[in-house]
Amino acid sequence: MPAGEIVLQGTFLGAHADEALRVLRNIEKAESKDHPLHRIMNIRRGSPGLTVTTTDIHLPRRIVHALEASWGGEATIHYDESAHFARASWERND
């Protein structure tokens, strides 16, 4: 059962999907040094863009904020009421 989900979308992503995947993996690698169980479970390409599931609720926040800091766009994150699931998104349209 995933603890987090990230949706990455927008026209910018279409041209930079491989770079975005490298960012995802780099953040996962850095996070796993201190928290080995915080990982990316699955990455799915499709509509609306990339959908990523994680084992942890904090990894989605780190990923979307890193993308926003690097490339702009708009990042959002929402936690369920019990704080057991995080849903994040990042979008940039050029």
Q: Are 43 and 21 in contact (CB under 8 A)?
A: yes
pLDDT for the residue 48:
78
Record the pTM.
0.90
Q: Which range marks the domain in which residue 31 is found?
A: 4-91
pLDDT, mean of residues 37-56: 93
Domain count for the chain: 1
pLDDT for the residue 77:
97
The residues near 52 (Cβ < 8 Å, ≥ 6 apart) are: 5, 6, 7, 8, 24, 40, 42, 43, 44, 60, 63
Q: Which residue has the higher pLDDT, 6 or 83?
A: 6
Q: How far apart are CA 16 and CA 37, in angstroms?
A: 28
The three-state secondary structure class of 84 is coil
CA 35 to chain centre: 17
Using one digit for the tens of pLDDT, what is the confidence trace for 7-32?
Answer: 999 999 989 999 999 999 999 999 99
